[in-house]
Chains A and B, each alone.
Chain A
């Protein structure tokens, strides 16, 4: 499964991606791939991913993200601020996995 994290510039989400990768290694989940990118790129790369996680600082773009994700049939979720602030890789990974399975 391919997980994409997006925020304004893809900077702070990439911190979270590093933590998620560690968690993936810890749980030995070989088929999960996580990447971060800037929201501007979303439209052109969305096809390559299964779930989209959105940094809370760009939740003002949710209407746009929602319509794009619905059009492409991809589930998305805005990461809760507390999880984001603690750079909690484990919780974010659970979030993505649950999103995929729901």
Chain B
């Protein structure tokens, strides 16, 4: 056990930290986080458009299309918005003109998007379908801009010219190069392979990553990595989300789009799967543990942690418990801490795969309390039951280990 802790702390943490700090990955993450408010607003309208009660559902029907306009303008432009925000974040990290980068990136993204049959813009690419395209082009646009700046290859204005004018001239050459590149690649690709650039990016990058991200085994591995990181006291979800955040969110967006179109929801694994059904109470699914700490321990220190921890836990913030109990650096608690979210994930997956519980479509803030969150995100009262089942199952996982730790703490306290 000592060796594992040592390995996690000395080798794994610096490695994971470096990955999480990697400039491009960080820009992708920040860019996607910037889109979240849109998705939360869109979800609110989606919930109203499809109320979970039948009589309300009938009453709302004449207004449904108007309500769904908001989801189309939020979920539906996720990739377009991200093409700006990702380029903006990356350019800012290089201390380049981030506004210019964002604007060029949007333009390059739209330039690459295939035309619809009637010659207009194929709007489906502006949503989750175009997310990987937006990511690739945003990073490329900034890298081109950076290369031009480093090589001093831009139009310099005399110093008397106001800064905002000279800045727009500085963005001219790299912007032109980026758009020209996208334009020519698009044409050549279409001639040679009969695929547009976005289709090619999706085939090579988007679809394989999405298939992997939506699979249960990959999700279980992601959860194990998150939990292992937390075992040494590191915000694991934050690091893993650098890679999987965009995938989980676009899986969520596919469900939202399907709901708005009145189709069957395609995905079980999604942003909500992780944050609403698995990490109930925070990473490690510690809600049940918090209740046990509150009602079922003898050690006065653990009782105090239960009292301090229950309120933030209600909103899925559990640092008082993970650091206070502690779970971190505490090998006795490692096993249930890793096992509990895995159990919750498998139960949730089965319940949704067998269509016992509806799949999530609305994105609610991760701080929404359990039971309310499950209902809001699926519109299905059975999701509340599922969250209760998960609560019981994770409680059973934690119970024996908590008892051992409680006894040790009690002995410690009686010696004092």
Contacts and interface: CB of A to CB of B under 8 A. Distances in A.
Contacts of B14: 60
Contacts of B312: 11-12, 15
Given A8-B238, A12-B317, A85 B322 contact: yes
A81 B13 CA distance: 16
Interface in B221-275: 230, 233-235, 238-239
Interface stretch (B16-24, B200-208, B386-394): B16-24
Interface in A33-72: 40, 55-64
A76 interface: no
B317 A58 contact: no
Q: Is the interface of B mostly helix, strand, loop or mixed?
A: helix
A59 B329 CA distance: 14
B21 A87 contact: no
A58 B325 contact: no
A60 B12 CA distance: 10
Nearest to A44: B92
A86 interface: yes
A55 B320 CA distance: 12
A85 B305 contact: yes
Contacts of A15: 312, 317, 319-320
B367 A11 contact: yes
B308 interface: yes
Contacts of A84: 319, 323-324
Contacts of A63: 17, 21
B367 A59 contact: no
A59 B234 contact: yes
B323 A85 contact: yes
Interface in B307-338: 308, 312, 315, 317, 319-326, 328-329
B238 A87 contact: no
Contacts of A11: 312, 315, 317, 367
A58 B305 contact: no
A81 B328 contact: yes
B124 interface: no
A61 B233 CA distance: 12
A60 B319 contact: no
A56 B328 CA distance: 11
Interface of B: 13-14, 16-17, 20-21, 30, 33, 230, 233-235, 238-239, 304-305, 308, 312, 315, 317, 319-326, 328-329, 367
3 tightest A-B CB contacts, nearest first: A85-B324, A85-B323, A60-B17
7 contacts: A12-B317, A15-B312, A40-B33, A56-B233, A58-B235, A60-B16, A84-B324
Interface of A: 7-8, 11-12, 15, 40, 55-64, 81-82, 84-87
